[in-house]
């Protein structure tokens, strides 16, 4: 009975998490014109069911409504030069509907879609090609045009929702948004990247223990090195724990989600049971949340998940995990895992050229479930292996691991920025 209650509680928790994430507002973060298309960049995946479109006549207008969405910044259209005889209007049409209107002097065929692998972007084709000029009737080089008239670029209130003077800056959700984003600039500065570092275990949960060394201590030392380096590099860093105390697995991702983290990195040390492999197994492994495809990934996940459930719940835990690990962040988490993993090897091998790569692997870790952000778990080495254990205690080796994690994070962020620009 107790077991069944626990399973029911877990389902409720997961259901609540999903319900919240489904209904959470998606912010429209920026708009660009790229290759003759309008490119709308949202914070999160845009669901097709949340988009509706229709046309109006005299003048001809193509209207798009994005449900469960909010405008991130009222200056989104400010630096956007509309092509020939085209006008854009953007409004917070209703509290949770963003409306985009494309006005044209002619009826045009409009294709609109999310590019593959970029489910947070929505492309809309425009009536005239960029640089179109009626007089020459050919495509010419785009000339810098004068800014659109104020009336065309400001946020238009098409239905009164208690906004004074069309000003969304007085709306509570907008104020709240700005609290965390004092910079209105859409291009994130380093400072505005929020990175959560999660040192595994803590307090009564020592994690793996071997040769008098506890996983919880090693990983906290490494996590603190990572924190200091990231702070020095100018990032905003949050630690799920910064001392030796216990933090529930579910609270670690909640912590991350509340702080709207851009990246979540959990740091652990590996171990194998008392068998013939105990002295042999070694190497660094990096995991991202997904179904475990290998026995090793399953074993490591079971070990790290232990803090949540007792052994007898193993089966029900797997059933639940299999249902929740198909989130949209998997591809990004995989990319982050690859960047961090390779960078750790690059640095640790400057000290120990034979440092083994255990690879980048998918695994169903509880600590990564529910993270609305690219999330990985690094197993920095086996403390059951005497040689690796000795290395992991050394400040110089911990520093190399930390440097690798930081470089991997920077590389990942740089690549995402390049993709957006
Ligand atoms: Zn661990």
pLDDT value of position 316: 40
Q: What is the CATH number of the domain that holds 308?
A: 3.40.630.40
pLDDT tens, 57-83?
888 899 999 999 988 877 777 777 778
pLDDT digit string, tens, across residues 87-101: 888 888 888 899 999
Residue 6, in any domain of the structure: no
Measure 134 CA to ligand 1 centroid, in angstroms: 66
Residues 273 and 356 in one domain: yes
Between the CA of 195 and the centroid of ligand 1 the distance, in Å, is 20
Contacts of 184 (CB under 8 A, 6+ apart): 73, 75, 178
129: left (phi over 0), alpha (psi -120 to 50) or beta: beta
Q: How many residues in total does the chain contain?
A: 421
How far does residue 273's CA lie from ligand 1's centre (Å)? Answer: 14
Find the domain containing 92 and state its range: 23-180
Highest mean pLDDT among 28-37, 93-102, 193-202: 193-202
Q: What is the mean pLDDT of residues 136-140?
A: 46
Per-residue pLDDT tens for 296-322?
Answer: 777 777 777 766 554 434 444 443 344
Is 37 within a domain?
A: yes
Strand, coil or helix: what is 53?
strand
Say whether both 101 and 232 belong to one domain: no
**Res 139 pLDDT > 60:** no
CA 362 to ligand 1 centroid distance, Å:
16
Query: 9-18, 150-159, 390-399: which has the minimum mean pLDDT?
Result: 150-159
Distance between Cα 9 and ligand 1 center (Å): 24
pLDDT at res. 314: 41
Asked if residue 403 belongs to a domain, the reply is yes
Query: Is residue 7 in a domain?
Result: no
Q: Which has more pLDDT, 291 or 262?
A: 262
Contact assessment for residue 282 and residue 385, using Cβ atoms and an 8 Å cutoff: yes
Model confidence at 293, in pLDDT bands (50, 70, 90)?
low
Same domain, 132 and 220: no
Q: Indicate the residue among 151, 180, 209 that finishes a domain.
A: 180
Q: Which residue has the higher pLDDT, 84 or 20?
A: 84
Q: Is it the case that residue 156 has pLDDT exceeding 70?
A: no
- 116 has a pLDDT exceeding 60: yes
> Residue 322 phi/psi, 5° resolution?
-60, -25
- 386: how many CB neighbours lie within 10 A of its CB? 14
Whether residue 1 lies inside any domain: the answer is no
**Total domain count, the chain:** 2
Is 5 contained in some domain? no
- Ligand 1 mean position, distance from CA 410 (Å): 24
Backbone phi, then psi, for 406, in 5-degree steps?
A: -65, -45
400 found inside a domain: yes
User: Are residues 78 and 142 both part of a single domain?
Assistant: yes
Residue range 221-256, pLDDT digits in tens: 999 999 999 999 999 999 999 999 999 887 887 888
Q: Give 97 or 16, the one with higher predicted confidence.
A: 97
Are residues 321 and 202 part of one domain?
yes
């Amino acid at each position: 009975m107790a077991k069944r209650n626990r399973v029911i509680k877990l389902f409720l928790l997961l259901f609540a998490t999903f319900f919240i994430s489904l209904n959470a507002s998606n912010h429209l973060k920026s708009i660009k014109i790229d290759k003759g298309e309008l490119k709308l960049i949202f914070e999160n995946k845009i669901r097709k069911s949340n988009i509706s479109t229709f046309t109006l006549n005299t003048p001809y207008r193509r209207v798009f409504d994005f449900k469960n969405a909010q405008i991130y910044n009222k200056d989104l259209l400010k630096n956007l030069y509309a092509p020939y005889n085209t006008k854009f209007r953007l409004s917070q049409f209703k509290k949770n509907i963003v409306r985009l209107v494309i006005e044209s002097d002619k009826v045009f065929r409009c294709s609109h879609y999310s590019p593959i692998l970029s489910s947070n972007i929505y492309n809309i084709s425009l009536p005239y090609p960029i640089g179109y000029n009626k007089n020459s009737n050919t495509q010419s080089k785009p000339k810098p045009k004068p800014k659109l008239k104020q009336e065309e670029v400001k946020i238009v209130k098409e239905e009164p929702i208690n906004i004074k003077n069309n000003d969304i800056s007085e709306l509570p959700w907008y104020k709240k948004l700005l609290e965390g984003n004092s910079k209105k600039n859409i291009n994130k500065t380093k400072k505005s990247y929020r990175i959560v570092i999660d040192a595994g275990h803590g307090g009564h949960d020592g994690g793996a223990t071997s040769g008098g060394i506890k996983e919880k201590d090693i990983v906290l030392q490494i996590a603190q090195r990572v924190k200091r380096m990231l702070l020095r590099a100018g990032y905003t860093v949050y630690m799920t724990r910064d001392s030796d105390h216990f933090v529930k697995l579910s609270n670690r991702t909640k912590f991350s989600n509340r702080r709207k983290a851009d990246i979540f990195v959990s740091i652990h040390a590996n171990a194998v049971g008392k068998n013939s492999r105990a002295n042999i197994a070694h190497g660094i492994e990096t995991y991202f949340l997904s179904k475990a495809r290998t026995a090793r990934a399953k074993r490591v996940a079971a070990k790290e998940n232990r803090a949540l459930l007792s052994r007898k719940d193993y089966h029900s835990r797997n059933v639940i995990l299999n249902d929740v690990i198909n989130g949209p962040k998997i591809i990004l988490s995989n990319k982050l895992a690859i960047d961090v993993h390779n960078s750790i090897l690059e640095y640790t091998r400057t000290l120990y050229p034979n440092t083994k790569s255990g690879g980048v692997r998918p695994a169903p870790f509880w600590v990564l479930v529910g993270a609305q952000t690219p999330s990985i778990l690094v197993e920095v080495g086996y403390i059951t292996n005497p040689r690796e254990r000795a290395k992991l205690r050394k400040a110089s080796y911990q520093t190399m691991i930390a440097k690798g994690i930081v470089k991997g994070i920077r590389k990942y962020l740089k690549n995402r920025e390049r993709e957006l620009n």
